[in-house]
A and B are shown apart, each in its own frame.
Chain A
Amino acid sequence: MKIVKINKKNWAEGLDSLAGSYSLSGPVKENGYHNFKKLNKGELPDFDFLNTKLSSKSFVFPQSEVMLEYSLDETADDHHIMKEVKKDYSKRAVVGMRPCDAKALMLVKMNFDTADYQDPYWLNAFNATTFVGLACDNPESTCFCTSAGCGPYHEDGLDVLLSDAGDHYIAKALTQKGEELLSAAKWQESADASVMDKKKAEAEAQIASTVKTDQLKKKATLDLHSASFWDDIAFACINCGTCTYACPTCWCFDIQDETKGNKGIRMKNWDTCMSPLFTLHTTGHNPRGDKTQRVRQRFMHKLKYFVDKYDKGIMCVGCGRCIRQCPVNIDIRSICDKMNRYEPAEQSE
């Protein structure tokens, strides 16, 4: 795959060329932090950020997405028939997502794209999007991607990887989609691949935070489930949805019907396992009725059930968002280490 050099002087012009055939989105600073927004004509993505507040998962998995619509008007022939909502899946590109967010898409894909079931909403959006990553040369102290199956120059899930080299970017096409985007932008000047390799090594060396995950698979599920540390971990938790909404790999959603007058829609909305409502049965019984059970579920899913089911490592890419945004400082790194080294005889701390 080709590697090109993009002089920053040609950056805006290239994006402008892209805007003809792609709808572009990128990080934009608002209210003091960066998030992804659709870029208006001539608007440039702002790359002066460590990581975005929310991940880029919403491009394929929006917080609220209408799936079907229906009419309740009984004089209409098609009343009460669910109909697919027409959607625009024309070509779009996300420019400037971190490699961890792209790797997260690959983990989430295991859930939405299986042999038995393919989620059309997720896959249509995924297939329509070209993901242009921005390598991380200044990782944060909470980044532990290199020990979570990812890294600051990780390529999984990306179509193009950009690296900032001062007065120019080096862009590496990783897929056919990526090559097409570079051609559409008319970025063709050839570049030296070794520069990127050097920067990659430097960036990886900067990741100071790590987790240990090597023992997780060997642990007995029930041992971990009944471990003595969960109450202590869960004590501070206020059971808000911050960690799950900020997480690029949290994929749970809830399906809701909403009607107004004679018109109705069926939609999916992000859900959070931290909420008691997540598992509340219609009988009134709640299998995860207390806080500790819910906190345990979140970490067991990410660090044990997922590991066992897919054998592809943990369901976490080490972006550190949950650590930074948790109102009460619950830190997945220390929990992962606790689980990894847990022996059933261990007393609570």
Chain B
Amino acid sequence: MIGYIEKIKQISERLLKEGTVESVVGFRKGSMPMMNEPCIVKRPDKVEALVWDSNCGINLTNYLTNRKDKIAVIAKGCDSRNIVTHIIENKIKRDQLYIIGVPCKGMIDKRKVSGLAEGEITSVSEDGDAILVKGNGFEKTVRKSDILQDNCAICVHRNPVIYDELAGDLVEEQKDVNRYEDIEKIEAMAPAEKWAYFEELLSPCTRCYACRNACPLCYCPTCFVDESKPQWVGKSQNDMDIRTFHFLRAYHCAGRCTDCGACERACPQGINVRQFTKKLEKDCLELFGWEAGMTLDERPPLDTFKADDPEAFIK
């Protein structure tokens, strides 16, 4: 992953010099281990600030919404699928974009790494699959595959599906992955058990909306929870209001979610919010054979109709 950065800088510098694009959206180095900061570079002499490593889990498509400029973006497999969705949903035009594709072997889950040591993690460096984690009086090398974000561990579209140029060779896709093991467990629960499970899952939620705001799909000018004329959802820590937010947000993402994991990564409380969106992703795959963001040529299942729809009520 680290090897891509020189190529990314070269491409970015060239695009900015040639005037192909006005800006490049990428990451710059963060101030903490396992954190990089999304940034925008507008001058060729500033591309040195760009970084690429296994800590670029935030989905950069989120920064493209409604932009009017010609813009380059660095896109992993999942980001590229969200770019496709953005283009289909008219949030950006294909000809405004220069997509620098990055074949991806997954992003590091900072919570899993933090769990390796009692104290603070002070540095994390990577060399291929070997991740060297250091803390106060602590040093350990772990395999990257053991500390991947959950969504990356089960990712089957690591290569960008749409790009103008690649920053590295395509990688082998993971096969024979059961993407829905966790969802199957929840599906097997009795209703009361499910209720208790979700209650427990959402109990730490403060409704900071980091999950929603990190999501490239959540671009509504006014989210339903922010509607005030009239107000639809209460603002307190009432559990019903918290549930309403999470359930409805998931439904709004049905057939659009690429399981990029930005929501879960962003959650300051570490809630597995993907459990909701994944259930709908699973349904879309099973009912409609649909995976979001794989092609520009087809409308997503919830905004189209087909005569062979599997649901009887709609025929």
Contacts and interface: CB of A to CB of B under 8 A. Distances in A.
A57 B149 CA distance: 32
A271 to B, nearest CB: 8
Given A30-B204, A330-B37, 11 more contacts: A32-B115, A138-B136, A141-B122, A236-B37, A238-B214, A241-B210, A242-B210, A245-B208, A258-B234, A258-B236, A323-B31
A254 B31 contact: no
A84 interface: no
A269 B241 CA distance: 13
Contacts of A64: 235-238
B39 interface: yes
Interface string B35-72: 11111100000000000000000100011000000000
B153 interface: no
Contacts of B111: 32
Closest 4 CB pairs of A and B: A327-B266, A240-B210, A64-B236, A238-B213
A256 B231 CA distance: 10
17 contacts: A30-B204, A48-B118, A50-B119, A63-B237, A138-B136, A235-B40, A238-B210, A240-B208, A240-B210, A240-B213, A256-B236, A269-B236, A275-B226, A329-B37, A330-B37, A331-B31, A333-B31
Contacts of B32: 141-142, 323-324, 329, 331
B19 interface: no
Given A239-B213, A328-B58, A277 B37 contact: no
B50 to A, nearest CB: 13
A193 interface: no
Contact of A328 (B38, B226, B228, B270): B38
A33 interface: yes
B172 interface: no
Given A235-B39, A256-B235, A329-B37, A240 B31 contact: no
Contacts of B234: 256, 258
A241 B235 contact: no
A241 B209 contact: yes
B30 interface: yes
A241 B62 contact: no
A327 B235 contact: no
Given A327-B268, A329-B31, A240 B209 contact: yes
A323 B235 CA distance: 25
Contact of B204 (A31, A267, A334): A31
Given A33-B270, A242-B208, A272-B208, A236 B38 contact: yes
A277 B208 contact: no
Contacts of B268: 53, 242, 245-246, 325, 327
B120 interface: yes
Given A50-B120, A64-B238, A242-B208, A277 B228 contact: yes
Which of A35, A64, A323, A329 gathers most chain B CB within 10 Å?
A: A329
A240 B119 CA distance: 27
A149 interface: no
Contact of B270 (A32, A235, A256, A280): A32
A269 B63 contact: no
A108 B204 CA distance: 24
A203 to B, nearest CB: 14
A54 interface: yes
A267 B37 contact: no
Interface in A254-284: 254, 256, 258, 267, 269, 272, 275-277, 280, 282
Nearest to B266: A327
Given A53-B269, A140-B120, A238-B62, A276 B226 contact: yes
Interface in B2-45: 30-32, 35-40
A329 B30 contact: yes
Contacts of B63: 235
Which of B30, B229, B270 gathers most chain A CB within 10 Å?
A: B30
